[in-house]
Amino acid sequence: MHFIEVILPLSLAKTFTYRISEAEYHFIKKGMRVAVPFGKSKIYTGLVLDVHENAPTLYEAKEIHQILDEKPIATEIQIKHWLWVADYYMCGIGDVYRGAFPSGLLLESETIISHKPDVAVNDSELSDDEFLIYEALQHQSSLKVQEIASILNRKNILPILQKLIAKDIIFLEEEIKETYKPKLVRYVRLHSKYESGSGLEELLMVLKNANKQKEIVLTYFQISASEKKPITVKKLIEASNAGSAVVKSLIEKEIFEEYFLQQDRVLFKGEKSENELKLSEAQENAFNEIKDKFTQKEVCLLHGVTSSGKTEIYIKLIEEYLQTGRQVLYLLPEIALTTQLVFRLRLYFGDKVAVFHSKYSNNERVEVWKQTLENLPKAQIVIGARSALFLPFNDLGLLIVDEEHEQTFKQTDPAPRFHARDAAIVLANFHKAKVLLGSATPSIETYFNAQTDKYGLVTLSERYKNVRLPEVVLVDLKDKHFRKRMTGHFSDFLIEEIAEALSLGEQVILFQNRRGYSPVMECLRCGHVPHCQQCDVSLTYHKHKNQLRCHYCGYSIAKPTNCHNCSSIDMTTKGFGTEQIEQELLTLFPKAKTARMDQDTTRGKFGFEKIIDNFKNREIDILVGTQMLAKGLDFENVSLVGIMNADNMLHHPDFRAFERSFQMMTQVAGRAGRSEKQGKAVIQTYNPNHNTIQQVTNHNYIGMYKEQLYDRQIYKYPPYFRIIKLTLKHREYDKLKEGSMWMYKVLSQNLNLPVLGPEEPAINRIRNEYIRAILIKIPQNMPLGSTKKTIQKMLNSFETVAQYRAIKLTVNVDFY
């Protein structure tokens, strides 16, 4: 008898055994999909992990319904990598499988199918079954797979559905249909008739009697002489004080011609870099060093300051790897950034660039999946966020992890809670590929690995074209408040700087980190924030208990009535957000065009891209935003960055607070002065002498690194200790409290390790569930495998305690 071992797309650690016939046995290979029954009446798409002869001992193996693929759709290395992810991050292999596959390839009985309202379908092109399904969906806008199965009165319908999906006739209801087209900008240039040397004279003759038109033409010549870059209609109208009707008539007269460009495709710098990229000397050196490191090391960190042109170095490196015919994976921290990058890469690599991300339609994702699997030229370079790591690569040669310090590389929910950077390094190892990590502000862990010679390190400390790093100016909020030099949240100094930038036609970015919904107490007079005595993190205000608590050890005090530092009773917990800043700008700079970029304004599909486009097109003068602004965006006309309040970042209750503050401020400041003249960053703070703020001011990454590393050692955090976080959730407060205490006790008795908690997080109830967390700290040099086994055993016995069974427990390895 023959059996297969199947992964189901469910949150289960186990695989399941199904029986197959002799004929199926000769056909089935590892990595093919099969439709299988599960439970009473469910059908799932499973993945074949193995073919064998061993009947299961605990249950009777069911037969499969159907084989869904003609050849494997997942590769052996890929599955090996998934198994590593499941093992390392302590989750089910089914979780990884489910997260990896585009949902269109994972049809199951509960999947809801809809038809496309406005596709013209030629009946004759459909098989009888296809037509029946199509017809059923004309009457009902959506149906479950199992409902369709009963309409057709057969169980093997997944392949038919798949065909209809591929034909774009039906789709999964969960799908997002909108696609984004970057905005086109209208430009004018002189008609080619007048391009010769005597063009201007000739023109002035033609326009002898048309003064307004003459003025515009003169303005055009002025602008193009001084700026040497494409001229937008908008700019021309502004500069010449003429109406758009005049420009229109000049176009009709064939004196100007209009043309449209995607903002991203414009080479503002006037350089002909199409296909010909020339590295600066510093870039060239870094490039050669990287290649040199790769002869000895699998991983190399490129520590290059903001705007040093890391992307250009990646491009050169990709170019070399492409010649070997191997595949390249380029990981970004945020899918919203792909639009920008894809345009940049397509300039050099044309249609060899494929994009894989969740906002793309299912069919597009399936297409990239297949191209990657077959190692087609079209997907030789794959760009994507962390999920692109799970594609069926055939022969990876190079992986690039840009902005490697970004925490978005770590998935928090749902499982697999993996870190894409770390999982990328493991994947590279399987492929014998190289990994380049890039950042202006590397994570402490990565820099530590580079310092200890695990990774190669290449440093690029000058900006492209030798533009100087932004000058960082600190504004002491305590002093400004005292001297009444504040208007709302703006100091007089910041207001002046904004006014100056605007008067020069330059753009401004204002940053307000609003991430902490759990506010801290802060003294309005001296800026003091109460800290935990044992953990070196700030205490968080818990409103309903009127307490300040430490999120790491549980230490708590009653909410103080006056400041422990200066005794002032002027204590506040009120944070302020981007919205308030935008409001204040309306009164301060009524003429400026402002926009806000945060989770509220970018929630809509492609909201982020739209704002970026508008800002690049200079339709926005001042952009106010949260940490999204810190993510490697390249704007050429921003001369000023204002950080409204550095302190709330510093006081985030997190052992990474200082590291993150440094990264955030350095990255946001790095958006200033990227093209020619040195930019400026104004940081408003109550703590101008805080080490981290001083380190930002002096562009002193190494200083930050050393200081943080010291703290990490003392307080037992990464890179010296690995952290596993257990989160427990339940609707009943007391049951959860009891259950987490049980878990905590068992863990601390069985592990000879620091176990902290069970701690109540700041937001201790989400969607009616209470939450508790337990942290386990494991020394870096201790074998992880056996510790995890012990933890897993404890988790298993927790599940067997009847009264705790309903408590949901999640495990987050290398919690970020």
Q: Which residues contact ligand ADP (rule: CB under 6 A)?
A: 271, 273, 277-280, 283, 304, 306-312, 464, 632, 634, 674
By CB under 5 A, tell whether 566 contacts Zn ion.
yes
For ligand ADP, which is the closer residue by CB, 252 or 276? 276
Element (H, E) at 789: helix 784-800
In the complex, the smallest distance separating the C-beta of residue 284 from ligand ADP, rounded to whole angstroms, is 9
Contact (Cβ atoms closer than 8 angstroms) between residue 143 and residue 136 = yes
532 is an interface residue for Zn ion by CB under 5 A: yes
CA distances 255 to 95, 198, 251, 798, Å, are 63, 14, 6, 80
Is residue 685 within 8 A of residue 474, CB to CB? The reply is yes
The first and second tokens of residue 647, run together, are: 């302190």
Beta partners for residue 62, in sequence order: 18
Helix (H) or strand (E) holding 6: strand 2-7
Task: Establish if 565 lies at the interface with Zn ion (CB under 5 A).
Answer: yes
Q: Determine the Cα–Cα distance for residues 464 and 460; give it in Å rounded to an integer.
A: 10
Listed ranges 59-67, 568-576, 616-624, 793-801: which one lies at the site for Zn ion (CB under 5 A): 568-576
User: What sections of 72-210 are H helices per DSSP?
Assistant: 76-88, 93-100, 128-139, 145-152, 158-166, 199-206
Hey, which bits of 292-341 come out as E strands?
299-304, 327-331
Contact status: 332 vs Zn ion (CB under 5 A): no
Q: What is the dihedral of CA 189, 193, 198, 204, to 10 degrees?
A: -70
Longest dimension (CA), the chain: 98
| 715 touches Zn ion by CB under 5 A | no
At 692, give phi and psi (nearest 5°): -60, -40
Output 204 or 763, the one with its CB closest to Zn ion: 763
Q: Is 506 in a helix, a strand, or coil?
A: coil
Strand partners, 52: 3
Q: Does 572 bind Zn ion (CB under 5 A)?
A: no
Closer by beta carbon to ligand ADP, 450 or else 520:
450
Question: How far apart are alpha carbons 346 and 324 in whole angstroms?
Answer: 19
Please report how close the Cβ of residue 360 comes to Zn ion at its closest, in angstroms: 44
Q: Which does 555 bind (CB under 5 to 8 A by kind): Zn ion, ligand ADP, none?
A: Zn ion
By the rule CB under 5 A, 493 interacts with Zn ion: no
Would you say 132 or 279 has its CB closer to ligand ADP? 279
Q: What is the DSSP letter of 59?
A: S
* 528 touches Zn ion by CB under 5 A: yes
Does 534 sit near Zn ion (CB under 5 A)? yes
Neighbouring-strand partners of residue 718: none
Q: Whose Cβ is closer to Zn ion: residue 555's or residue 816's?
A: 555
Would you say 267 or 714 has its CB closer to ligand ADP? 267
Output the smallest distance, CB 289 to ligand ADP, in A: 16
Nearer to ligand ADP, 578 or 667 (CB): 667
Strands 622-625 and 594-597: parallel
- Report what 528 binds from Zn ion, ligand ADP, none; CB cut-off 5-8 Å by kind: Zn ion
Q: What does 516 bind: ligand ADP, Zn ion, none (CB cut-off 5 to 8 Å by kind)?
A: none
| In the complex, minimum distance from the CB of residue 528 to Zn ion, in angstroms, rounded to a whole number | 4
Is residue 686 near Zn ion by the rule CB under 5 A?
A: no
* Residue 73 contact, options Zn ion, ligand ADP, none, Cβ 5-8 Å cut-off depending on partner type: none
- Give the tokens for residue 443: 């994570």
Q: Give the CB-nearest residue to ligand ADP.
A: 309
Answer yes or no whether residue 563 interacts with Zn ion by CB under 5 A. Answer: yes
Least distance to ligand ADP, CB of residue 681, Å: 15
Evaluate whether 553 touches 534 at the Cβ level (below 8 Å). yes
> Which CB sits closer to Zn ion, 268 or 555?
555
Q: 652 contacts which partner out of Zn ion, ligand ADP, none, CB within 5 to 8 A by kind?
A: none
Q: Is 752 exposed, middle or buried (0-12, 13-18, 19+ CB in 10 A)?
A: exposed
Give first-to-last CA distance, the chain, whole Å: 47
Task: Pick between residue 206 and residue 524 the one whose CB is nearest to Zn ion.
Answer: 524
Report the interface residues with Zn ion, using CB under 5 A: 523, 525-526, 528, 532, 534-535, 550, 552-553, 555, 563, 565-566, 568
